[in-house]
Structure 1
Amino acid sequence: MIWLTWRQFRTQAAVMFAAVAALAATLAVTGPQLADLYRAAGSGLVDQVSSSDQTLYYTGLLVVLAVPAAIGMFWGAPLVCRELETGTHYLAWNQGITRTRWLATKLGLGAAASMTAAGLAALAVSWWSSPIDRAVNGGAATDTYFPRLDPVVFAARGVVPMAHAAFAFVLGVALGLVIRRTLAAMATTLVVYATVQLAVPMWVRPHLIAPDQTTVPITAGIPINIQEGAKQIVAHPEVPGAWETSQQTLNAAGRPAPVPSSFAECLHTESGLPTAQQIDGCIADLGAQGYQQQVTYQPAGNFWALQWAETALYLGPALALAGFCAWWIRHRVT
């Protein structure tokens, strides 16, 4: 049964593992040079990374993020759905193999292969990117690279990609069982998985581990962005490697309050574009009135705690979906 299951999706698996192997080989060739550069330059590495290495940085990031989605679409969704469409599942069931064993073999082998592929891709990319990650977490100022806790990078580092892959695979199998149309199941798997991947960083991940808070004075020395027509400000205190999850402005009494209308009036000019000196003066006036900015953030040290928490977050639903698949195939598939 295991051999038969492997034969059914060996082509998709071969393509996936070949792509991961090609990426890993490329990273293995260029990685030592990047590590040597970090040892020589430290946090200054981010200013010395070549354009080709910068391309590799983003390529690796995209590959690791894409692997679970591809697994869900091309491994999970067709694995059972195609057999239900063609009726070949009856052949196995009529040869003394129970439905539960038939499904368990497919889920077990597929989930193991999925986690292996995602894990190898994440391991290679995390190793290659570690000099850049250390430079950014060490306080290097850059608009090109992201700290490991940033939502863009977090899902492509550590152990989380393996949990994402397991979830995407079982999700694809479950949707294939219910929909029983391969193309429709593949498309639905992609949509549902992408929706989950957008929702978790926005609404769930910030609360998996208790965040830290800091209150910074509003002064011209703190990097501040002015948003929504001077109705909101966003401060960026020096917290290397941190992920800022939310902010609010506090008045002189320490209570949440909107930015006063006088701030927008201060920035108003006939040309519509205040000068840098005028912006600094208006910010200084706001600080003189006692306004402060409260920043809620996940510090760099919470990286692994968040990794394990999100791994559990995804593996739990994956196991629940596997149980649903077992129930569905025993009671709803004829």
Structure 2
Amino acid sequence: MTALTDRAGTMKQGTPKRRPHLSGLNWLIWRQHRAGFWTILAVTAIGIGLMAYWRAGLVDYLTGYGYPHLSSDEWQSGFEPFSERLFDVGYYLGFLPILLGVFLGAPLVAGDLEAGTTQLVLGHSVGRTKWLATKLAIAGLVVVVSTGALSLAFQSWWSPVSERDSSLDWTSGKLFDVTGPVPVALALLTVVGGAAIGMLLRRTLIAMVATFGFAVVVQVIWSRFRLDLGTPVTLTSHNGVVDGPPALPAGAHQLGQGASFLTDSGQVLSWQTCVDQTATAEAHAACLAAEHVDGWSMDYLPYSQMQGMQWLGAAILLILTAGITVFVFLWGRKRLV
């Protein structure tokens, strides 16, 4: 008995362990879209590698000026090639949510409906809700991993100068929309929106065209209201206007058309006040004196608000994504096939 027990134990110990692997519906959906998934992950890996390489070059350049303790602005004299590359890469990364929505989201459901695969799958005791949930979950996971990793890589590349270089406007879509949680939220919205459009139109090519329009509209609306996520801060001075407006804090983004005039009573006047009285400096000064102008008023967004604005914007985008997801399930349970 002991020998048999030892032998059984030896056989049990010698049995190779099965590695984690996909099976069932998960395997089927991954296999259906594996070309797109692997392409996304491969592009992500290449992008991370390139940004890591460019960051190393940036750090080498800044080290020559004492980085991480930059005591002067001399480093900005030769920084233009680095800033141009940052803006160029940020510009192209901004198209990622649109591309993911068109080439991943739109065909996700429409492709199966058009080819008749949906009826085949649902005919094997697979519920509609489970099928949709698995589709969206796997696609969403790939989107979160890819966009999140690229966002972290770009943020790491930009971070050595993010608070120091005023030429890199952090409110620009080339920086704001490709760092933090924003690219993840934008991509999820366009992908889920594309899946919903594909489910309604049931034709892949038409769904891709419609999703492109949807994604562009999302980007336009987002860029229009991006700055509204912040809380403006007002900088004032009562030292006269001869020396010009006061300097903004490092990394601040000025709002409006520029500095406004401020009267001794606290009233804000347009910078165009007395613009017709500029024939001579004396006439212009007399006009400002008559209006009781004694300083400047400027509205701006400090760099410190960037992270809060990004998370607030991402929360709004994710709420919209959740609403579209609920619609997909409600519609799909009754009218999927």
TM-score by length of 1: 0.80
Is 2:188 the counterpart of 1:166?
A: yes
Relative distance call for 1:285 and 1:66 in structure 2 (3 A) is: farther
Relative distance call for 1:176 and 1:221 in structure 2 (3 A) is: farther
* Superposed displacement of residue 58, structure 1: 2.7
Counterpart residue number, 1:244 = 254
Q: 2:156 aligns with which of 127, 135, 139?
A: 127
Aligned counterparts, 1:58-207, within 5 A: 58-136=87-165, 140=166, 142=167, 146-203=168-225, 205-207=226-228
Q: Is the contact made by 2:198 and 2:207 (CA closer than 8 Å) also made in structure 1? A: yes
Is 2:18 the counterpart of 1:18?
A: no
Q: 1:301 aligns with which of 297, 300, 304?
A: 304
* Superposed displacement of residue 37, structure 1: 2.5
State the alpha-carbon separation in 2 of the partners of residues 161 and 115 from structure 1. 9
State the alpha-carbon separation in 1 of the partners of residues 223 and 255 from structure 2. 10
Q: Is the contact made by 2:277 and 2:283 (CA closer than 8 Å) also made in structure 1? A: no
State the alpha-carbon separation in 2 of the partners of residues 172 and 209 from structure 1. 29
In structure 2, what residue type is equivalent to 1:155? D
Taking only the aligned residue pairs, the percentage that are identical comes to 26
Structure 1 runs, 4 residues or longer, greater than 6 Å off: 280-283
Q: Is the contact made by 1:57 and 1:129 (CA closer than 8 Å) also made in structure 2? A: yes
SS of match in other structure, 1:135? coil
State the alpha-carbon separation in 2 of the partners of residues 322 and 85 from structure 1. 21
| Residues 68-88 of structure 1 deviation map (CA, whole Å, 9 limit, x = unaligned) | 111111100111011112221
* Superposed displacement of residue 163, structure 1: 1.2
State the alpha-carbon separation in 2 of the partners of residues 249 and 154 from structure 1. 27
Relative distance call for 1:12 and 1:285 in structure 2 (3 A) is: farther
| Residues 86-136 of structure 1 deviation map (CA, whole Å, 9 limit, x = unaligned) | 221001110000000000001111111111111111111111122232321
Aligned counterparts, 1:266-281, within 5 A: 266=278
State the alpha-carbon separation in 2 of the partners of residues 283 and 35 from structure 1. 49
State the alpha-carbon separation in 2 of the partners of residues 89 and 169 from structure 1. 19
SS of match in other structure, 1:158? coil
| Residues 220-258 of structure 1 deviation map (CA, whole Å, 9 limit, x = unaligned) | 5336xxxxxxxxxxxx84232123344684563434555
Is 2:327 the counterpart of 1:324?
A: yes
Counterpart residue number, 1:275 = none
State the alpha-carbon separation in 2 of the partners of residues 317 and 259 from structure 1. 40
State the alpha-carbon separation in 2 of the partners of residues 74 and 95 from structure 1. 28
Relative distance call for 1:50 and 1:319 in structure 2 (3 A) is: same
Q: Is the contact made by 1:208 and 1:309 (CA closer than 8 Å) also made in structure 2? A: yes
SS of match in other structure, 2:300? strand
Counterpart residue number, 2:31 = 7
Q: Is the contact made by 1:206 and 1:245 (CA closer than 8 Å) also made in structure 2? A: no
Counterpart residue number, 1:229 = none
Is 2:77 the counterpart of 1:47?
A: yes
Counterpart residue number, 2:231 = 210
CA RMSD, 1 decimal: 2.8
* Superposed displacement of residue 20, structure 1: 2.3
| Residues 152-208 of structure 1 deviation map (CA, whole Å, 9 limit, x = unaligned) | 4211112221111111111111111122222222222222222222222323x3333
Relative distance call for 1:327 and 1:44 in structure 2 (3 A) is: farther
Relative distance call for 1:182 and 1:124 in structure 2 (3 A) is: same
Relative distance call for 1:63 and 1:261 in structure 2 (3 A) is: closer
Q: 1:27 aligns with which of 42, 51, 67?
A: 51
In structure 1, what residue type is equivalent to 2:314? T
State the alpha-carbon separation in 2 of the partners of residues 45 and 282 from structure 1. 42
Counterpart residue number, 2:4 = none
* Superposed displacement of residue 9, structure 1: 1.8
User: How many equivalent residue pairs?
Assistant: 302
Q: Is the contact made by 2:147 and 2:183 (CA closer than 8 Å) also made in structure 1? A: yes
Q: Is the contact made by 1:73 and 1:172 (CA closer than 8 Å) also made in structure 2? A: yes
* Stretches of structure 2 lacking an aligned partner (at least 5 in a row): 1-24
